[in-house]
Amino acid sequence: MKQALTVLAVAATLAVPLASGAHAENGRIATGVLGGLAAGAILGTMAAQPQPRYYEPAPVYVAPPPRRRVYVEEPVCHVERGEPVWDDRRGVWFRPRVQVCD
């Protein structure tokens, strides 16, 4: 669409002086050449502009939510001397250590 409008604008720019019967007198050729170069430069830059490119938005890092800390009360344990037990190998009574948790 844009190129079609550019071609149409160039055609209109060239057609206006030809249709009006304009001719250069008294050294006005330089003015016409400079005007044509300026119009050509303007139309050329309009036609040569790149099409805008649409990119996806950049990926965004989202930090994970903070972990909830759950505190579990562990039982309090201690060691006590248990009931007396006979040891046949040694031939003695002894009291083994027993872990007791509250």
Q: 4-50, pLDDT tens digit by residue?
A: 766 666 666 666 565 555 566 666 777 777 788 888 888 888 777 77
Assigned token pair, 14: 């060239």
Q: Pick the closest to residue 43 from 97, 72, 4 (CA basis).
A: 4
Confidence label for 95 from pLDDT (cuts 50, 70 and 90): very high
| pLDDT at residue number 17 | 60
Q: 36-85, pLDDT tens digit by residue?
A: 888 888 888 877 777 777 778 888 888 888 888 888 888 899 999 999 99
pTM of the model: 0.29
d(CA 38, CA 47): 14
Assigned token pair, 63: 């930090």
| pLDDT at residue number 45 | 82
Domain residue limits, the chain: 2-48
| pLDDT at residue number 20 | 55
